[in-house]
């Protein structure tokens, strides 16, 4: 049985660690020097006692003091239910409608012999290849390293090889009976050749060997190639989410 959506959302917060977290009357405020929206946004997860006006003002002040835009990550079960409407009224734009998808691991196809993979702890080699393949800006490197080093769950960092060349990177994080997939990237010159599918299969088999029987991942709804790949493997939508950002200059 698939975990409830709120439980999956809690896993996504556990597995993508910011540098600092503040719990504020049922809302989770996350800060990571601006590296990824997920790690620099407000997750209104639980019921509140304070007024929405007061809470929004406090959030805006908290992010402003860190020279960050105020971003809300919203789900169908965000608290309070009228928050999305209120943010819209205040001029917060919807950014990156996305979804969390899940997959049962009971019937995974085998990996191809045309690729090989190594999966181990976080290493300089993995960081080097990920930064090259993902074209990560230098200013985010230290923050990314600190975030990944803070993951408490069992994490496997994958390098995908074709011959002697690294052609992809990925991260799998196992908690309970789930493996969450993150930082999936394939060499831009080698996409649409089945390498993404092989990368995912290597991670999913590793996750099953480490006790997982299900997987989840997050995907932007506009990312048609990724959606096709995940659908081919059997992933289906568990719930959707979206961001609200007041300043459109910070929407990327």
For residue 158, the tally of other CB atoms under 10 A from its CB is 22
pLDDT of 220 higher than 80:
yes
Say what the pLDDT of residue 251 is. Answer: 40
How many structural domains does the chain have? 2
For 1-43, how does the pLDDT look when each residue is reduced to its tens digit (9 = 90+)?
567 999 999 999 999 999 999 999 999 999 999 999 999 999 9
Question: What is the average pLDDT score of the chain?
Answer: 94
Residues 72 and 137 grouped into a single domain: no
Residue 62: enclosing H or E segment and its boundaries? helix 52-64
Determine the 3-state secondary structure of 22 from DSSP: strand
Confidence of residue 250 (pLDDT cuts 50, 70, 90): very low
Longest C-alpha distance within the chain, in Å? 59
Residues 27 and 75 grouped into a single domain: yes
| Mean pLDDT comparison of 56-60, 137-141, 192-196, highest-scoring range | 56-60
pLDDT of 249 higher than 70:
no
Say what the pLDDT of residue 2 is. Answer: 65
**Cα separation of 187 and 212, whole Å?**
28
Classify burial at 65, counting beta carbons within 10 Å of its beta carbon; exposed 0-12, middle 13-18, buried 19 or more: exposed
For 147-194, how does the pLDDT look when each residue is reduced to its tens digit (9 = 90+)?
999 999 999 999 999 999 999 999 999 999 999 999 999 998 888 888
Say what the pLDDT of residue 199 is. Answer: 97
**Cα separation of 100 and 220, whole Å?**
9
Say what the pLDDT of residue 33 is. Answer: 96
Say what the pLDDT of residue 73 is. Answer: 98
Residues 89 and 147 grouped into a single domain: no
Say what the pLDDT of residue 193 is. Answer: 84
CATH of the domain at 119: 3.40.630.30
Share of the chain above pLDDT 70, in %: 97
Instruction: Flag the least confident range among 58-72, 88-102, 180-194.
Output: 180-194
Residues 146 and 87 grouped into a single domain: no
Q: How many residues can be counted in the chain?
A: 252
Determine the structural domain holding residue 169 and report its residue range.
Answer: 107-212
Residue 231: enclosing H or E segment and its boundaries? helix 224-233
**Cα separation of 174 and 184, whole Å?**
16
Nearest to 39 by CA among 64, 68, 65, 67: 68
Residues 113 and 65 grouped into a single domain: no
Spatial contact of 222 and 237, defined as CB atoms under 8 Å apart: no
For residue 29, the tally of other CB atoms under 10 A from its CB is 20
Mean pLDDT score, 220-227: 95
Say what the pLDDT of residue 244 is. Answer: 98
Residue at 12 is within a domain: yes
């Amino acid at each position: 049985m698939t975990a409830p959506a709120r439980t999956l959302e809690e896993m996504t917060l556990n597995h993508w660690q910011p540098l600092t977290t503040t719990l504020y009357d049922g809302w989770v405020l996350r800060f990571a020097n601006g590296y990824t929206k997920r790690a620099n946004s407000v997750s209104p997860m639980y019921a509140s006692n304070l007024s929405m006006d007061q809470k929004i003002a406090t959030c805006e002040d908290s992010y402003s003091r860190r020279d960050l835009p105020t971003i809300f990550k919203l789900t169908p079960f965000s608290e309070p239910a009228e928050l999305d409407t209120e943010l819209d009224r205040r001029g917060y734009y919807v950014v990156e409608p996305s979804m969390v998808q899940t997959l049962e691991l009971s019937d995974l196809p085998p990996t191809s012999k045309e690729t090989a993979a190594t999966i181990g702890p976080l290493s300089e080699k993995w960081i080097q290849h990920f930064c090259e393949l993902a074209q990560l800006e230098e200013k985010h490197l230290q923050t990314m390293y600190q975030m990944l080093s803070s993951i408490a769950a069992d994490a496997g960092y994958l390098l995908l090889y074709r011959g002697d060349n690294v052609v992809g990177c990925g991260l799998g994080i196992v908690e309970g009976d789930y493996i969450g997939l993150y930082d999936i990237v394939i060499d831009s010159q080698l996409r649409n050749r089945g390498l993404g599918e092989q990368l995912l299969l290597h991670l999913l088999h590793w996750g099953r060997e480490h006790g997982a029987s299900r997987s989840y991942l997050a995907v932007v709804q506009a990312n048609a190639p990724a959606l096709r790949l995940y659908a081919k493997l059997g992933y289906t939508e568990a719930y959707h989410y979206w961001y609200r950002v007041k300043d459109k200059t910070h929407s990327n």
